[in-house]
Amino acid sequence: MKCSNLIEAFEQLAPLHMAQAWDNIGMLVGTAQREINSIYIALDSTDEVIKDATNKKVDLLLTHHPLIFKSLKSVTEEEFIGRRITNLIKANITYYAMHTNFDVAVMADLAADYLCLSNREILEKTDDSHGIGKIGMLPKAMTLDELCQYVKSVFAIESLKVFGNRADQVEKVVIMPGSGKSYIKNTIQSQAQVMITGDIDHHEGLDALACGLNIIDAGHYGIEHIFVKYMQEYINNSFSEIKVFTEKVNAPFEIV
C-alpha cells in the first residue's frame, strides 16, 4: 500500500486541523510515495524504538509524540534528535506522528472508555464538537483509594501519585491523558471531584487540593500508552495486509 493512502486514512481518523497550533504532526521523515508493508507503533521515537524498528526492517514508524517539536538548525549524529533522524533515514524508515490531533479526535474518549465513564462532556472545547479532556461519571461512587486501584487496573500501571484524602467518596471525574497541569482550572470549574492525568508537580497538586480538587497522577506514559494498542487494532482491522509491530508497554522510568 502506498504510504500516501495510509496517511489519508490516519488523517480521516485524526484530522490535522484538530491539532494544537504549537504541535508538529504528520510525516516528519521520508516520502509518502513509498510502499508500506510493515509498521512499528510506539508512544515515542526513542533510540530503543528506532533500533527495534530497524531490526524488524519495517517501512513506517508511527508514534504519538513527535520526535521533532522545534525547528532544527542542523541534523548531526552528535545530538540525539539528529542521531535518531539519521538512523531512520539510514534504515529507510518513513516516520509519521499523530499527537494533539489524536488527543482531540480519539484519546480522551478512548481513555474515558477504559474508565467506563458516562454522561460525558468535553473539558475544554477546541471547536463546536471537539476538545481536550473529558468530564464524566464513574460506573459507581467509590473512595479515592478505590479509584486509584481502578485506574491502576484499567491502564495496567504499577504505581501512581495521588493528592487528596483517599477515604473521600468520589464519582464525577475528569480524564486528561498526557499532561493536565494547564487544565486544573477548567477541572475545578467543571465541579469534578478528581482529575486523572499526568505530569502534576508538587505545587500544582497542593494548589488543586486547596481548591477542593483531588488529583490522581497516573503519569504521562501511564495513560497515553493506550495509543499503541488502539492504532494496532485500527491498522489490523483496516489494512490486514500490513504487518504490525508494537513497542512493548514499559514505563520509561522506575520507582525505587
Long-range (24+ apart) CB contacts under 8 A made by 83-87 are: 83/47, 84/45, 84/46, 84/47, 84/50, 85/29, 87/47, 87/50, 87/51, 87/54
Q: Which residues of 61-77 are buried (b: 16+ CB within 10 A; e: fewer)?
A: bbbbbbbbeeeeeeeee
Stretch 126-152: mean pLDDT: 96
pLDDT bracket for residue 219 (50, 70, 90): very high
Summarised one tens digit per residue, pLDDT across range 188-198 is 999 999 999 99
Summarised one tens digit per residue, pLDDT across range 79-109 is 999 999 999 999 999 999 999 999 999 999 9
Stretch 131-140: mean pLDDT: 97
Percent of all residues in the chain with a pLDDT value above 70, rounded to a whole number = 100
DSSP symbol at 107: I
Stretch 150-160: mean pLDDT: 96
Long-range (24+ apart) CB contacts under 8 A made by 118-126 are: 121/190, 123/174, 123/176, 123/183, 123/186, 123/187, 123/190, 124/183, 124/186, 126/18, 126/20
